[in-house]
Amino acid sequence: MVAEGSEEDQSAEDILEGLRAGMITLTVHTEQCPDGEIAGQFEPADTAESEPEEEEEEDEEEEEEEEEDEEEEEEEEEEEEEEEEEEEDEEEEEEEEEEEEEEDEEEEDEEDITTAGDATLTLGDINVGENVEPDDEYVTLQNEGDAAIDFTGWSMQDRRDEGMVDTPGGASAYSFPSGFTLEAGGSVQIFTGGDESNDSDDILHWGIQNQVWSQEGDTVIVEDANGDVALEESYEGDGRGSILGDVFGQITSLFA
């Protein structure tokens, strides 16, 4: 039997090594020669047959890598979704807390608001009359109660009939500064003239240049934010000049 090499002219040793490694297979063709001998020819099998196996392995590895990448992406997406949900939950909790705080503040404000029914307000010292300039004219309010009075939204005026307030040529009702509070046992003087920028805890300014309170007698009316009367107290004058003193029976005329 005669063996011929492959086209690549592999040596016998290379062929044997290939056979041992399983990389080469032999295909034997036999023919009957005229002299009775049998001629044989071998061809190495196409080594490319092993390549599909390698390609399949590579494909499998690529598929596994792709699957791993997809799993990682899915995990990342899930983590992002969880983080977003946590952020949304935190925002909702913060909003709820803010709403609760606002509600608590509103409740506290409502509790702090003093109404006419709660206030114990009286008229104290006054200085009024034709001979008194608006900057010197004042009335005094006293808080005789046990709790502070918040005057936010409150107003003050003189008597409604034939008074200076809300009449032609008269003044508008005085509006107390927002947030002004009169402590229990405290008093505040409210000057007809002056500048509101000079207001303090115990002195307020109406800020008008006309006299409001009559020396012949008048009525001081204070209303709360709901329009309910917290104080309506009158004083009497002799019509002869300025009145200075306490309305409780101690009003005196500067001109005897």
pLDDT of residue 20: 67
Name residues whose C-beta falls within 8 Å of residue 102's C-beta, 6 or more positions apart in sequence. Answer: none
Residues in the chain: 256
- Retrieve residue 195's tokens: 């500048």
pLDDT of residue 205: 93
Integer Cα distance of 4 and 31 in angstroms: 14
R_g (Cα) of the chain, nearest Å: 54
Name residues whose C-beta falls within 8 Å of residue 254's C-beta, 6 or more positions apart in sequence. Answer: 129, 131, 241, 242, 243, 244
Instruction: Classify residue 9 as left (phi > 0), alpha (psi -120 to 50) or beta.
Output: left
What percentage of the chain exceeds 70 in pLDDT? 62
**Fold topology of 121-236:** Immunoglobulin-like (2.60.40)
pLDDT of residue 254: 34
Query: Full-prediction pTM beyond 0.75?
Result: no
Among 9-23, 35-49, 152-166, the least confident range: 35-49
Find the mean pLDDT for residues 46-59: 66
Integer Cα distance of 209 and 194 in angstroms: 8
At residue 250 the predicted structure's pLDDT band, cuts being 50, 70 and 90, is: very low
Q: How confident is the model over 196-235, as pLDDT tens digits?
A: 888 898 999 998 888 888 888 888 999 999 999 999 998 8
Q: How confident is the model over 107-156, as pLDDT tens digits?
A: 665 555 555 556 689 999 898 877 788 899 999 999 998 889 999 999 99
More confident residue, 19 or 65: 65
Range(s) of the chain covered by CATH 2.60.40.1260? 121-236
CA 174 to chain centre: 35
* Pairing outcome for strands 187-191 and 203-205: parallel
Residue 225 near residue 153 (C-beta atoms within 8 A) = yes
pLDDT of residue 248: 43
